[in-house]
Chain A
Amino acid sequence: MTQQHQPAARRTQFLLTVGFSLVFAALIGWLAAIQIRSGGALARRAERQHTVLKTIPPFRGHIVDRIGRPMAVTVDGCTVFADPKFIHQYGRAGDAAEAASPRDGAAAAPGAALASLADAQYVDEKYQANRARVARDLAPLLAMERADIEAIVGADPHKQFVRLKRGVDGATRDAIQQLRLRGVGFESEGLRCYPNGTLAAHLVCGVGADNQGLGALEYQYDERLRGSAGQRVLDVDGRRRAVWIRTDGYVPARDGQLIVTTIDLAIQSFTEKALAAAVERYKARGGSALVMDPSTGEILALANCPSFDPAQYAQTDPYVARNRLLTDPYEPGSTFKCFISTAALQAGVVKPNESIFCHNGHVVIDGRRMTDHHPFGSLSFQDVVVRSSNIGMAVLGKRLGNERLHEACVRFGFGTKTGVTLPGEAPGLVYPLERWHKWSATSIPMGYEILVTPLQVATAFSSIANGGQLMKPSITRSVCAADGTVVEDHSEPTVVRRVMSEETARYMRHEVLHEVVWGDHGTGKQARIPGYGVFGKTGTAKKKNPTGGGYSSNLYVGSFIAAAPLDHPRVVVMVMIDEPQRSIAYYGGTVAAPAVREILAKCLGYLHVSPDEPARVASSPRRPH
């Protein structure tokens, strides 16, 4: 038997040995060929498939007031998301086949895996039950409707990431984690918080869904506040679950910078309260207030009424949300008289104490009839301003002439942006000389035919207060890195130009504007603070008719701007009341001056400013507060 089959067996061995050897060699060759031909491309494709770039969101920088009290801060928050596919699979956790071969689920096409299930109906019911449970538990914590959550989760059961809610705070996240809901996850992100509520809302203005600044400082310094996102590379498995974080490709997030503003939140607080009380009292449409340090141009408080919640900035009515102090130019009316009279004095067209005839309240100049609110005969130069005579100012305007008048407006900074680092500032409007007509020289001195922003008025007034220097108003003291080191220092005041001599400024303060408040005929008597040399100027401007041409007969802007003490004023306070109810009151000296007094008095106390007029303290029947 052995001898019979031997040759055949040897032949079989030989043939198959050759055959198998060739095949095995071919397989090794084929492997090498794959590697040579497309190994790199395949490896890159695999790399793309199993790596995920995760951005690490930076923390948005804080905004604080001048001594570090928080105005806008970023706290630890998160986005809550759901994994509908996981919720789906969790719904059939009892399914043995699924549990035994979890890998197959990822490998097979989702549709096929579903179709092959013995009892799809049962699975669907379990899924819905699980979805309902997730919705029921989350709804109260996320302050969402159960039906909404169910709809979001149920929209596409094959998705693995749907956002449920953004901007969820840490406490809520912890509460949700306690529930141990499977298929609900968190993505860490900074949550912008405004701890003071509506206080200084117009300065921070809020952020959008992606923490992008929408207005005011949040917008102006968005790039600094934002920081830069980091990234890390994750290796993920077939179901996009992170397996590990790779050490290469890690870039840490750089947190945003800190903005230190010039605002003092204490001043801001009582400024807003006084403003709101005045607006409320005179049933006005709104109001604005500004507190400035005249020697540096730093804005200490900036308020608009009504205020709003910065977290709701995007939904706020534009009139409310706008920082009208610098976005809405208006015709200033009588307030403007103090600047033109200063210019007239500086130019020498009028002497102190010079008597000016005011035509007993009625006169026709250049074919236009002009009136005063009260008939005056001859008024001294001071009294023209103190008693706010339109005719007297028109006379001064004619004496100055168009060119000097125009130059005065421009020198005081009107018609150009002040350059404060807040977005949306309007330059106002000073017509170029060639567009002036015969009435311009008499209209502008009393504050018409010119558009200015309240910020420009306060800045120009500060130049009278500080001895003649026009300052650049500032809102930021410094920009600091996240660790607190100063990156940019803006605390050094910037002088724009000298607009009058020290003597002129001193004369205007002591002899003219002081009398507005303390004189027997002054329009700003309501701003008196016993013991302090308050000086200021009222303004009552008619507003343009909103529906047609001309001026409205019952829409006014009542304003008052004042500073104290007399020799070295520490603060300039401006309040304007927009559209007070005419039936109650509308004169600036009535609607705005009391608010100015309150703010000014509290400022002087807060800043420990000693009374500068001891004589008047003695004569005062009561203390200011």
Chain B
Amino acid sequence: MNTPDAPCFRLNPTVRWLFAATLALMGVGLLMVYSAGMSADPSERFVMFQRQIVYVPLAVGVLLVAMRLPYQWLNRWYVVLGLLALTVVLLAAVLRFGAEVNGARRWFRFSLGAFDLSVQPSEVAKLCLILCFAWFLSRPGDHVRSFLRGFVPLAVMLAIVCGLVARQDLGTAVLLGAVGAVMMVAGGVQLFHMATLVPPAVAAMYVLIVYEPYRLTRLMTYLDPWKDPEDAGYHVTQSLMAIGSGGWFGRGLGHGMQKLGHLPEDTTDFIFSVISEEMGVAGAAMVILLFAVVVLLGLRVVGRSDNRFAMLTALGIVLWIGLQAVINIGVATAALPTKGISLPLVSYGGSGLLLTAGALGVLMSIAARTAELNSVGDDRAAGTMTLPGMRAA
């Protein structure tokens, strides 16, 4: 039994399964980015894939490095505050200097020789916010229960980051808000303190919708996407047509038609629709189950964690991945209003994929250094896979 203060690294079953599910999702992603890259014009084919084939190994590398590094290194005030400052600066800067795509400034573009790298600061913001909250909420003492010393700093931090993100990307802001709020509750902030957040959040949403009329259109479209399938409802209806074309078992890998210029954002926000068309409900359910494996194993790490920082960090990461997947799939299936949000690990994207992999690396780092998870592996013969959901005898 390792002491909580100096837990040693072990590739316990939880880590292995997490790693396997993560790799599987990235593999599905790579496959579907390749498939969706088909085009009638040879010069347009597989543009995204050519980058993704580089990003995926990079992401696996980042994941492996993050897993080996002790997560406790992140539990330092200078690391956390530094990250927070970096996030705020990046978020503010992107609004001014970012490249504009489809009317929104969300990316920084760097050109590294022949290779274009896009960095989305809101992706950085997600991980930083989670670490900040985990650090703040896990500091020793009773300040969390206090309104002024506990609730207010967190609420202000959340408001600043969400506010900056919301300027261009409401979906991510909502995601961040949800992750932050759940972390606060799990971290011990009083519920009636939390309740004071509701009126300003509602007011902020109202203002954002009023000032950006396209958001109202999106909401109306959500209610009836078939009302205007050529314009406002275009994305959703095309996505539904892809899902409908797929049927139960799909048209077969590579046989999708919707990805050929009918379905927009087919490598990013609507890659789930491509999966549905080519692999059917069966394949889509497999992807959902893979996410379920990641989320439920992550929650297992949360439940068995040795300390509050580990628990809150793991919780934040799980919420991030899980909620983002749910929102993306919900949008693609018209269960939620349209949001420009990608499917973690699967969608094409450089910075998003690297940061998601890094976050999962941190989660695995925690899992690999959690005494209770490691002890489960001790009971089993080495080399045999153990179902991670099984409790220790």
**Contacts from A to B (Cβ < 8 Å):** 1-2, 5, 8-10, 12-14, 16-17, 20-21, 23-24, 27-28, 30-32, 34-35, 38-43, 45-47, 49-50, 97, 100-104, 106-109, 116, 235-239, 241-243
B103: Cβ under 8 A from any A Cβ: yes
- B243 and A42 contact, CB distance less than 8 A: yes
The list of the 10 closest CB pairs from A to B, nearest first, reads A42-B244, A238-B261, A13-B303, A107-B264, A46-B241, A237-B261, A237-B260, A241-B40, A46-B245, A50-B257
Residues of A within 8 A of B330 (CB): 27
Is there a chain A Cβ closer than 8 Å to B169's Cβ? no
Indicate if B27 sits at the interface (CB-CB under 8 A). no
With contact pairs A1-B4, A16-B299 given, residues A31 and B243 touching in the complex (Cβ less than 8 Å): yes
Given A20-B296, A116-B103, A34:B243 Cβ within 8 A: yes
Q: B253-269 CB contact bits vs A (8 Å, 1 = yes)?
A: 00001101110111000
Q: Is B242 a contact partner of A46 (Cβ separation < 8 A)?
A: yes
Q: A12-B302, A237-B40 are in contact. Are A45 and B322 (CB under 8 A)?
A: no
Query: Are B241 and A49 touching (Cβ within 8 A)?
Result: yes
A5 touches B291 (CB 8 A): no
Alpha-carbon separation in the docked complex, A26 to B124 (Å): 30
- In the assembly, what is the distance between CA of A108 and CA of B319, in Å? 32
Given contacts A39-B247, A42-B240, contact A50 B262 (CB under 8 A): yes
Query: Can you list 28 A-B pairs, Cβ within 8 angstroms, ordered by A?
Result: A1-B306, A5-B307, A9-B303, A9-B304, A9-B311, A12-B299, A13-B299, A13-B303, A20-B295, A20-B322, A24-B291, A27-B330, A30-B333, A31-B243, A32-B281, A34-B334, A38-B240, A39-B244, A42-B244, A45-B241, A46-B257, A47-B245, A97-B101, A103-B266, A107-B265, A235-B257, A242-B40, A243-B40
Q: Are B262 and A238 in contact (CB under 8 A)?
A: yes
How many angstroms from the CA of A142 to the CA of B382 in the assembled complex?
A: 81
How far, in Å, is B342 (CB) from chain A's closest CB? 15
Q: How many residues of chain B are within 8 Å of chain A by beta carbon?
A: 62
If A27-B288, A107-B234, A116-B103 touch, whether A102 touches B41 (CB-CB below 8 Å) is yes
Question: A102 touches which one: B44, B182, B262 (CB < 8 A)?
Answer: B44
Known contacts A34-B333, A102-B44: A8-B245 contact under CB 8 Å: no
Q: Which residues of chain B from 368 to 387 have a CB within 8 Å of any chain A CB?
A: none
**Which residues 182-234 of B sit at the A interface, judged by CB distance below 8 A?**
182, 186, 188, 230-231, 234
Chain A residues contacting B262 (CB-CB under 8 Å) are 46, 49-50, 237-238
In the assembly, what is the distance between CA of A102 and CA of B42, in Å? 12
Contact of B148 with A by CB under 8 A: no
Give the contacting residue for A28; candidates B40, B244, B257, B285; CB below 8 A: B285
Interface centre among A16, A32, A39 (most CB of B within 10 A): A16
Residues of chain B within 8 A (CB-CB) of A30 are 333, 335
Q: Which residue of B is nearest A102, CB measured? A: B44
Q: How far is the CB of A491 from chain B (nearest CB, A)?
A: 53
Mark interface residues in B158-182 (1 if CB within 8 Å of A CB, else 0). 0000000000000000000000001
Chain A residues in 8 Å Cβ range of B322? 20
Q: Are A12 and B333 within 8 A (Cβ)?
A: no
Complex: A108 Cα to B304 Cα, angstroms? 48
Task: Give Cα A229 to B1, complex, Å.
Answer: 82
A2→B306 contact, CB < 8 A: yes
Given A50-B258, A50-B260, A238-B262 in contact, is the A9-B305 Cβ separation under 8 Å? yes
**Chain A residues with CB below 8 A from B315, complex form:** 12, 16
> Are the CB atoms of B186 and A43 closer together than 8 Å?
no
Task: Check A21–B292 contact: CB distance below 8 A.
Answer: yes
- Secondary structure type dominating chain B contacts: helix
In the complex, are the beta carbons of A27 and B258 less than 8 A apart? no
| Bound CA–CA A243/B39 (angstroms) | 8
Partner of A17, one of B103, B230, B296, B306: B296
Which of A14, A39, A238, A243 sits near B303, CB closer than 8 Å? A14
B32 at the A/B interface (Cβ < 8 Å)? Answer: no
Known contacts: A43-B245, A107-B234. The answer to whether A31 contacts B281 by CB under 8 A is yes
Contact A237 B303 (CB under 8 A): no
Question: What residue of chain B has the Cβ atom nearest to residue A17's Cβ?
Answer: B299
CB-defined contacts of A237 to chain B, threshold 8 Å: 39-40, 260-262
Complex interface residues of chain B between 38 and 53 (CB less than 8 A to chain A): 39-41, 44, 47
Q: Which residues of B contact A23 (CB under 8 A)?
A: 326
Give Cα distance in the complex from A56 to B348, angstroms.
Answer: 41
Taking CB atoms, residues of chain A closer than 8 Å to B245 are 42-43, 46-47
* Minimum C-beta distance from B126 to chain A (A): 18
Q: Across the two chains, which residue of chain B brings its CB closest to A32?
A: B281
A109 to chain B, nearest CB (A): 5
Task: Determine if B41 and A241 form an interchain contact, defined as CB atoms under 8 angstroms apart.
Answer: yes
Which residue of B235, B241, B335 contacts A42 across the interface (Cβ within 8 Å)? B241
Question: A613 to B257, alpha carbons, bound, how many Å?
Answer: 84
Report the bound CA distance from A235 to B265 in whole Å: 20
Known A-B contacts A20-B296, A107-B264, A243-B260; the reply to A35 vs B243 at CB < 8 A is yes
Q: Which residues of A contact B260 (CB under 8 A)?
A: 50, 235-238, 243
Using a CB-CB cutoff of 8 Å, which residues 275-334 of chain B contact chain A?
Answer: 276, 281, 284-285, 288-289, 291-292, 295-296, 299-300, 302-308, 311, 315, 318-319, 322, 326, 329-330, 333-334
Chain B residues with Cβ below 8 Å from A47 are 245
- A21 CA to B243 CA, complexed, in Å: 22
A43 touches B241 (CB 8 A): yes
Interface centre among B257, B276, B319, B334 (most CB of A within 10 A): B257
Instruction: State how many angstroms separate the Cβ of B288 from the closest Cβ of chain A.
Output: 5
- Report the bound CA distance from A390 to B84 in whole Å: 124
Cβ-based interface call for B9 (8 A): no
| Cα A241 to Cα B41 with chains together (Å) | 9
Q: Which residues of A contact B276 (CB under 8 A)?
A: 31
Tell me the complex Cα distance, A553–B314, Å.
116
B248: interface (CB < 8 Å): yes
Q: Name which residue of chain A comes closest to B322, CB basis.
A: A20
CA distance A45 to B237 in the complex (A): 10
Contact A8 B186 (CB under 8 A): yes
- Please tell me which one of the listed residues A1, A10, A45, A102 contacts residue B244 in the complex, with CB atoms under 8 A apart: A45
How far apart are the CA atoms of A101 and B267 in the complex, in Å? 11
Q: Which residue of B lies closest to A39 (CB)?
A: B244
